[in-house]
Amino acid sequence: MQVVTREISLKTQGETDILDVTPHVTQVLEKEGLTRGLVTIFVPGSTASVTTIENEPGLVSDLKKSWEKLIPPQGSYAHNRGGEDNGHSHLRASLVGPSLTIPIVEGKLALGTWQQIVLLDFDTRPRHRKLLLQLMGE
């Protein structure tokens, strides 16, 4: 069994920026040549998350609006009392989580037809993000 760790660097806009990272993950998988196993996608940091969604413009808009309703930026957050402005960003990211694991089957990500891997950046400003990919298998 192989264990391979790779890094992907990305620029985000913050404010619930949603980036489709499926092509990046697929490219790493193809380069490494694993045919079966698992890939874990992890985003270091406490204001971003990784999940899957159908990356369709209407649904992306709906997801952003849902976050505005569930955890609005203008809430009264204890975190913000120390001069920060991103308490809502931390809360949103903690609900989704920093990682996602996907099976590798016959050399491909075992995603559904309309399912893409997305990075959600909830912070209040543009960021340079990195994704750590750990592939395990053969």
Which tens digits make up the pLDDT trace of 28-67?
Answer: 999 999 999 999 999 999 999 999 999 999 999 999 999 9
Tens-place pLDDT, residues 89-128: 999 999 999 999 999 999 999 999 999 999 999 999 999 9
The residue range of the domain holding 52 is 9-75+83-137
Spatial CB neighbours of 81, under 8 Å, sequence gap ≥ 6: none
Q: What is the pTM of this model?
A: 0.96
- CATH code of residue 87: 2.60.120.460
- Domain tally for the chain? 1
Please report the pLDDT score of residue 103 as a whole number.
98
Query: How would you class 109 by CB atoms within 10 Å of its CB: exposed for 0-12, middle for 13-18, buried for 19 or more?
Result: middle
| Residue 36 counted as domain residue | yes
